[in-house]
Structure 1
Amino acid sequence: MSVLDLARAEIRTMQPYSSARMEASGGQVLLNANESAWAPLGDSGLGCNRYPEPQPAALVDALADLYAVRREQLLVGRGSDEAIDLLVRAFCRAGEDAILIQPPTFGMYAVCAQIQNAGVIEVPLAVNFTLDVDAVLTALTPAVKLVFICTPNNPTGQCIPRADVERLAQALAGRALLVVDEAYVEFADTGSVAELIDQYENVAVLRTLSKAWALAGARIGSLLANAEVIGLLRRIMPPYPLPLPCVSAALSALSVPGQVSAREHLAIVREQRALMHDALCRLPGVREVLPSQANFLAVRFDDAGIIYRRLLAAGIVVRDVRRYPNLDDALRITIGTPAENARVLAVLQEATTCA
């Protein structure tokens, strides 16, 4: 059974849109796309009067090298969100199929499924927010076409052991596509599981430049998967997903100097994460600081609502995650610069002392 047998039959057989850039490239006089012949003011040589490549070759090559996959195993788009949406639309029939998630987790999995009118089966994370593989497999139904796992998990920060990921991949073969969201993997001590896509055709991995690579505003994300899955998603992807300025920003970030800078900042985040964890644990009013392999800490407070308001009054915005299952007393605090982190601790010290 091919992994494509899990996808919607009408997507597999549809005739995709053929854009002007896909039909012809390399010409010197471009008169096939009804573009302006003049670059806009302030263009600075980008050529924004022309449509961009659907999958920019230089960026695809750079990302394939970064993630150690073949270029045909990579799809680049507008953040991980676009890849999640494309997967749900390609594999889930409205009103019939479903995804499986483990809350608390990233909210866009369920949002994309709901937009598609696909079901959402929830298998809560176990004690200490660990993945219960047996519970996931027990809850699996024939309707489930996608199983999303997030490692390190957002919003708790824990990683899923590689052995559990591989066990799921084996058990889901021929039944569902396992989508491993690694948006925060650069901050973790454990590495990516991207090489599993060569061993299991039903494994896909989400990566992004939004976090460790400091390009949240450029919206560049990737899906790593079996080449057939990549080809399927390209059928339904908008023809020009990546604006030229965003591609340029990504290529700069992935250059040799850009990679040096990113790794320097990663080292700072890791160091600050450990310092913040220890300092927060010593504050009165802090119940628990969850262990994290991401660039944030989920912190339980005696009164998270008061702490949130105190921080906001001091001009500090953190994430209120009390609506998530088993986190009704928690806030998620991103690791900032050393000065920002020190400011957070100072405000929390004052707030918890006065509480």
Structure 2
Amino acid sequence: MSPFSLLYKWVTQFRNHLYNIGSKTSFEFETKVFSVGNLSVGGTGKTPMVEYICRHLLQLGYAGKTTVLSRGYGRKTKGFRLAEETDTALTLGDEPYQIYNKFTPEVRVAVGEERVLAIPTIIYEHPENEVIILDDAFQHRSVKPDLSIVLSDYQHPFYKDYVLPSGRLRESRKGIDRADALVITKCPLNLSREEQEEIRQSASKYFLNKPVYFAGISYQNAFSPFIERKIKKEIAVVTGIAHAAPFIDFLQKEYTVVKHFKYSDHHFFSSTEIEEISLFAQQKGLDVITTEKDWVKLSNHELFDSSLKNNLFYMPMMVQFLEQEKSFQQLLEESLKDK
């Protein structure tokens, strides 16, 4: 590890120590608080997991009683904001806006950098609210959740990674012990029980006697609300996500990927970029596929109607547990019980 990584590791460990001994305060709330986070920077599938939890809560009767609270990474606004019809990906951030589009009005969506201040605001404005799901809040120690779920990418497990800048960890591996459950995400759907056990054993060095779950990604059919025909077999792909490889691998099994327009995570598309994508697709006679997160930005762009509306599709994705889905759901339900 580089000296910078050692310094970063020491600073984060000292900060956690201050919370552990009570020198810094972690606030608890009567409203149930679930946290979905990770040790690494980006790319573990937090949004699909948040959506999975939302769907399960709705099945349990929590429609109108659930709020997703995110920092709103990449948005052009600041401070607390409760999503409403006039909002876009620019005002909320791409992932919160995606969740808002999918679940409103059954689930509210809010953004705010200071979660410990945003939660009382949600409770005050909506006293009927019973559950708040914190998106990407594992390092937000000022709030003590009732249930803390940490995600780790199958291809980049936390126990093989290092603290920034040598690796992608936001804090040392042992920080995961604060979590109540670990989900290994983006697993192959045919992952053997033997390999699952090997991963459990490796994780147990830092995460002992707590549940470890395994989940993959289930891609849905390519879709556009504006196009009735089926998508063509030859496509261009547009992604602005942290790890595009699994998405591309899946598409290549079903389609001929002629070109991949690859951008950084949470990328906001310029008019020049959209014109470039549109022109390439028209010249080659291609349709364009993007992720659901990128769709909410592209479909709200001022050039969408004139450039992409007639040949842009997106592919929804959902969490698919390999085994023990009932156990994970029971964990959620147990955490809903009165303190």
TM-score, structure 1 normalization? 0.32
- Which structure shows the higher helix fraction? 1
Report the structure, 1 or 2, having the larger strand content.
Answer: 2
TM-score (norm 2): 0.33
Bigger radius of gyration: 1
Of structures 1 and 2, the one scoring higher in RCO (CA 8 A, sep 6+) is 2
